[in-house]
Amino acid sequence: MKLEHIGIAVKSIEERLRLWRDLFGFCFEMDEEVPEQKVRVATLDIGGVAIELLEPLSDDSPIAKFIEKRGEGLHHLSFKVDDIESKIEELKDRNIRMIDEVPRKGAHCSAIAFIHPSATGGVLIELSQKEDN
């Protein structure tokens, strides 16, 4: 597994781009909506690992609920895997609590699944497999 991106929950991508792109000089790569997750994603390249700014598209979005409960900030770490179904089964076999036992559609044409933070010391971990794998 390899760290692929760091997800940061934000109220406004435009406001936070001023910090990440304009102040720190990170390269803005793309902006995408993921209706299945009710989120807008802006991706910044920071040299091999990306930062994803996650803006809710609606009040019932998981990101909106996160911001309401915890405020803006670090949401998750995402690790690239070659075979997401096998990795989910491996984790379940090791009694690791999963949020997603079946992959779902994520940003950048990927399949994703989340490990429950109770299994990782409070850190939300995303597993991600690109469609072309």
- Enumerate the domain spans of the chain: 2-130
Which is nearest to 10 in space by CA: 54, 74, 62?
54
Residue 38 CB neighbours (<10 A): 17
Joined together, the tokens standing for residue 37 give 């997750």
In the chain, where does DSSP find H-type helix?
13-17, 62-70, 84-93
The residue assigned the tokens 């096998």 is: 86
Question: Per residue of the chain (133 residues), what is the pLDDT tens digit?
Answer: 899 999 999 999 999 998 898 888 898 888 999 999 999 999 998 888 999 999 999 999 999 999 999 999 999 999 999 999 999 999 999 999 999 999 999 988 899 999 999 999 999 999 999 876 5
Say whether pTM exceeds 0.85: yes
Domain 2-130 has CATH 3.10.180.10: yes
